[in-house]
Amino acid sequence: MTSVRVTQSMLSQRSLLGVQTGLARLAATQEHLTTGRVLNRPSDSPTDSTIAMRLREQMADQKQYARNAQDGLAWLGSIDTTLSSMTTDVRRARDLALQGANTGSMSATSREALATEIDQIRDGLIARGNASYLGRPLFGGVTSDGQAFDPDTGAYSGDAGTVSRTIATGVEIRVDVTGTDVVGPNGNSLFDHLAALSTALRSGDEAGVDTAITQLSGRLETISNVQADVGTRYLRVEGAVDAGADALLTLTSQLSEIENADLPSTIVDLQLQEVAYQAALAATSRVMQPSLVDFLR
């Protein structure tokens, strides 16, 4: 049978080790309670730290998606408002055309008044077509020019580029509208129809006025269809905003479970560690008390 000789030095070292271990545990628990976090550095838990980093990365992505979606909502909302105003103006122009359809019973002065109002509506529509958001034309594609239509002729000066926003992982949605999709191509656009209507009213051309009425009715339908498409896209982006907010809330909750300390549990643990540390101190004080005189007694 092997016997082990326990020396005073061994007792002292083991006692001091126990005290230091208890003090380290007490300090760690105090840090958790002070910071409110159980992960204060990667060495606390490499596995949980990796998970927390991934969650933070996903949260950053969701926040960026939310910013993209909010920007997209602003684009689409501005377009919807502009199209509503354009619809009102075109409807008014058609009403004036219907009023002036019987040019033979109207005086030249009356026809001139109608034509003048048509010209004003045309200028207003061109201005609405050049509406912008943050300095970029709503209907001009990705053109560097600040206008989508020539202010004088109404000719489309934008391009066929599209403005899109990524609102979720792998989900990209267009937030602009090409001007020609709203007013038609150059040479056969809404502005050309209004200019022809104005000329027909001044000259008493009933056939020209009838043609303009048909063209304006068709353009109203086109604008309505474009606005419906914009509304559908707006709802999609709005839904993505709500989904992104829910996803961000879930990620935040998961991160909190990993990083944050459970306050009641930490307080209880701190009290236990304090008791254990005090017990270790008391035991060590008894071990360290004996001296050479004590052994000679």
The Cα 237–Cα 112 span in angstroms is 46
pLDDT bin (cut points 50, 70, 90) of residue 163 is very high
CA dihedral 175, 181, 182, 186 (to 10 degrees): 130
- Kindly state the average pLDDT of the residues 24-44: 72
- What's the pLDDT tens digit per position in 254-278? 888 887 666 667 677 767 777 776 7
- Structural domains present in the chain: 54-255 (1.20.1330.10)
What is the reported pLDDT for 35? Answer: 72
pLDDT at 67: 94
**Which residue type is seen at 273?**
Q
Q: Are 182 and 223 in contact (CB under 8 A)?
A: yes
Does position 101 have pLDDT exceeding 80, yes or no? yes
Residue 24 pLDDT > 90? no
Q: How far is CA 296 from CA 227, 228, 285, 291, 293, in A?
A: 103, 103, 20, 9, 5
Q: Would you say residue 22 has pLDDT above 90? A: no
Q: What average pLDDT does the segment 194-205 reach?
A: 92
Structure-model confidence comparison of residues 72 and 47, the more confident one: 72
Out of 96-105, 154-163, 278-287, which region has the weakest mean confidence (pLDDT)? Answer: 278-287
Q: Which pTM does this prediction carry?
A: 0.77
Mean pLDDT of the region 14-41 = 70
Looking at per-residue pLDDT, the higher value among 296 and 106 belongs to 106
Question: 227 pLDDT band (50/70/90 cuts)?
Answer: very high
Instruction: Tell me how crowded residue 15 is: count the other CB atoms within 10 A of its CB.
Output: 18
Q: Does residue 177 have a pLDDT over 90?
A: yes
Residues 51-89 pLDDT 10s: 888 999 999 999 999 999 999 999 999 999 999 999 999
Average pLDDT, the chain: 85
